[in-house]
Chains A and B, each alone.
Chain A
Amino acid sequence: MTLDFGLIVQNLPEILAAFWMTIWIWIVSNILAVAFGFAVATLRRYGPGWLGLLLRLFVEVIRGTPFLVQLFLLYFGGPFIGLSLDPIPAGLLGMTVYATAYYSEIFRAGYNAVPVGHVEAAECVGLTRGQIIRRILVPEMTMLVLPQCVNMAILMMKETAILSIITVPELTLVVGAIGSQQYAFVEAMFLLALFYWFLVEVSGFLGRIAEARLSKFRFAHS
């Protein structure tokens, strides 16, 4: 038996569409999750105690359950509580919620890693809390959390494959279907592995550029 990669050429438009779907969902859900994750970490730090507890519960539940299970509950269980979503919005929402919990923990650790003295110095020159967050904590934290954020984005890239179970027309669903229709499972899976690896390499490359740009701001030592 020989491997037949003709199936790429024959199904190019479908595969390209799935490729873009994967990238689109991945990028949008990650951007949203970074924003929400930052908000969760900030509210846990500065918000009222009850909200902090609630958000902590959210993070614990999301981190404590498999993404696959969350997605099933959202897509198939959602209609029982009046939340009927099409596959793509459900996939986007599921990815965002899942990644938000993880990003919020990255930012929480980031907040804690900024030396207290840097905040005290800002207080002493009269910066308000909002200014301290915007001008001191966020930029300093960015240097510290960037590697973990890149790592998280890479993990989320691979998690998009799970969206196939709720029929989001992304790479795994489309290429897998082509493979089974044409009895070319191995080729299809091999192709998938290549696609994901390519995307992960690209995001890793972009992450390294960002880290190099920020490296000049490294922490000063006496």
Chain B
Amino acid sequence: MTRSAVLVRDVHKSFGDVEVLKGIDLAVPQGSTTCLLGPSGSGKSTLLRCMAFLEETTSGTIEINGQPLGFAETGDGRRTRLPAGDIRKVRSRIGMVFQQFNLWPHMTALGNVTEALVTVRGMKRKEANAKGEAQLARVGLGDRGHHYPSELSGGQQQRVAIARALALEPDILLFDEPTSSLDPELTGEVLNVMRELAGGGMTMVVVTHEIGFAASVGDKIVFLDQGKLLLDGPPSEIFGAPRHPRLQQFLETYLDRGAATLV
């Protein structure tokens, strides 16, 4: 059996008194695309952010390529926080793409893509630029390297953000609703880039409301509801009949939004 790229075990996460994740177990196979679906407040974004260590889990463990992320179990049921250097090392295997792109506005597209190559990896500027340009070309923006984010469309900004994540050659890419801030017209160009990445064997975890994308590109569909993992399986099984009533109810809200073919 191949090792999981991401292994989530009994993860709980609370914000104050509110428990957002109530014991999640999930294995993300290497080279697969896993799509996290669920209604607002189901905890899907929180789960993804825990995988990127942007949120710290309250209890439970997350492993990236077999390495513990953030905390190590001490054997007596407790856990200790790992040193910052170790955390950064494990995190460096992960690339993250945000709903709001989060490009740095004072840097050009190329500057955004090469920043970590130079600052973190210590690469020479010339070498980093060559690599950055190659990544921008990969997302179809080879000619936009010297534009500032404010000079790019939303779809282009999101593709720069994907190139930024790819430049560090991560093993796993996490996408947090990557098309939710985009006009329907611009959504396609981002989804196409993601489709190509999936085809190239990149391990991806995608929080999305693009049911069509999830059904056609996802190898695995995970449906969360109220902080619990309700369904976990291949799209044919999850979307096929007989369908879980909660999923059916969720999908019906998409009827008017172009997912009619599925529902």
Contact = CB atoms under 8 A, between A and B. Distances in A.
A128 to B, nearest CB: 8
A221 to B, nearest CB: 8
B92 A126 contact: yes
A118 to B, nearest CB: 5
Interface of B: 52, 54, 88, 91-92, 94-96, 98, 100-106, 115-116, 119-120, 148-150, 152-154, 157, 161, 164-165, 168, 181-182
10 contacts: A120-B96, A121-B96, A121-B103, A122-B104, A124-B54, A127-B120, A135-B119, A220-B103, A220-B149, A220-B150
A220 B120 contact: no
Contacts of A221: 150
Given A125-B116, A218-B150, A220-B150, 10 more contacts: A120-B102, A121-B103, A121-B161, A126-B120, A128-B88, A131-B119, A217-B148, A219-B105, A220-B103, A220-B157
B174 to A, nearest CB: 9
A140 interface: yes
Contact of B119 (A120, A127, A219): A127
A46 to B, nearest CB: 14
Interface in A94-149: 115, 117-118, 120-128, 131, 135-136, 139-140, 143
Interface of chain A: mostly helix, strand, loop or mixed: helix
A219 B151 CA distance: 10
Contacts of B181: 222
Given A115-B100, A125-B168, A127-B119, A219 B92 contact: no
A71 B165 CA distance: 53
A124 to B, nearest CB: 4
B98 A121 contact: yes
Contacts of B103: 121, 220
B148 A120 contact: no
B54 A217 contact: no
A143 B106 contact: yes
Contact of B182 (A127, A128, A222): A222
B102 A121 contact: yes
A123 B104 CA distance: 13
A81 B148 CA distance: 55
Interface string A186-216: 0000000000000000000000000000001
A106 to B, nearest CB: 18
Contacts of A117: 98, 100, 102
